[in-house]
Amino acid sequence: MPETEQLTTRQREITRRLLEQGFLSTSSLATSFGVSDMTIRRDARQLEKAGAALIVHGGLTLPPGGRHTEGFVQRARVDARAKARVARACARLVGPQDRVLIDAGTTAYEVARVLASSFEGTLITHSAPVIQLALRMPRVTTIALGGELLLDSQAFIGDMTVSNIGVLRAETAFIGAAAVNDEGLFIERNLELRTKRTLMRSADRVVLAVTASKMSSSELVHLCDFEPIHLLVTDAPPPEPIRRSLAASGTDLLVATD
């Protein structure tokens, strides 16, 4: 179930109004809810952190494409604490000048969000929400891969995306999956298959970042077995069949504990 405690009732109502109106002033929200401007500014910071809003002078506006990102924000709240643990462990793998590929999906987005403030490397992504994050990372070189935008997943896919990835090389790619079992990684639909596989081939190290809730389940499309995966980062020890498959493929395991 979604971890809705990440947002208060007031913050969820602000999100609902923002999706309807596109812009809300700090003063009008403070008056409406009977709270101080400072309280609304704290709410604004939490909503921006969740990707539901963008702080601008005088109030809040929708992030670019915001009316289409509500589903993404809702998915980001599922297992939010576990995703944060996984993301922090992944971020510690990144050097300050590294070239990093970030997959689409909410866990990969969280990896980009928690990259150390000392990171001044190159961020390569086909995720629209990650591109939005990069707007606030002026010391980072960002390469947006472009292509056809899938509105529900907020990911660019297709021939243009694959062609752009194919001429690039990164130290590390952080990949997500909809499900993981002893046969490997699964995604929800075939549309994203070629893009994800090209991402994986374009990095020296492929890191699968998934929460334990994705383990021992399956989805429609088999992405790959564990052979191309160098490291699995998750928040709890995986079931024994998956551990055996990891060992057989030479895939390392990192269980995030904080």
CATH number, residue 111:
3.40.50.10470
Q: Are 35 and 147 members of one domain?
A: no
**Does 126 map to a domain?**
yes
Q: Are 49 and 167 members of one domain?
A: no
Q: Are 122 and 189 members of one domain?
A: yes
Q: Are 95 and 40 members of one domain?
A: no
**Does 71 map to a domain?**
no
Q: Are 158 and 99 members of one domain?
A: yes
Q: Are 216 and 165 members of one domain?
A: yes
What pLDDT is stored for residue 66 in this prediction? 55
Q: Are 60 and 100 members of one domain?
A: no
Among 18, 41, 66, give the residue marking a domain's end.
Answer: 66
Token code pair at residue 190: 């075939």
Residue whose C-alpha is closest to residue 212's, from 233, 186, 229, 236: 236
pLDDT tens sequence for the chain (258 residues): 333 346 788 998 898 787 766 678 899 899 999 999 999 999 999 888 877 788 887 888 776 555 545 566 667 667 888 999 999 999 999 999 999 999 998 999 999 999 988 899 999 999 988 988 888 888 999 999 999 888 777 889 999 999 999 999 999 999 999 999 999 999 988 889 999 999 999 999 999 999 999 998 888 899 999 999 999 999 999 999 999 999 999 999 999 988
What pLDDT is stored for residue 74 in this prediction? 65
Q: Are 94 and 54 members of one domain?
A: no
**Does 58 map to a domain?**
yes
Q: Please give the tally of structural domains in the chain.
A: 2
Q: Are 34 and 83 members of one domain?
A: no
Q: Are 159 and 122 members of one domain?
A: yes
Q: Are 9 and 93 members of one domain?
A: no
| Residue 236: Cβ within 10 Å count | 14
Among 66, 91, 107, give the residue marking a domain's end.
Answer: 66
Residue with tokens 């990707």: 51
**Does 74 map to a domain?**
no
d(CA 149, CA 171): 26
pTM: 0.75
Q: Are 43 and 83 members of one domain?
A: no
Among 66, 91, 108, give the residue marking a domain's end.
Answer: 66
**Does 53 map to a domain?**
yes
Strand order in the sheet with 252-255: 141-144, 122-125, 99-102, 170-175, 203-209, 231-234, 252-255
**Does 73 map to a domain?**
no
Give the domain range for residue 26. Answer: 4-66
Q: Where are the beta strands (DSSP E) in the chain?
A: 23-25, 54-56, 59-61, 99-102, 122-125, 141-144, 148-150, 155-157, 170-175, 179-181, 184-187, 203-209, 221-224, 231-234, 252-255
**Does 36 map to a domain?**
yes
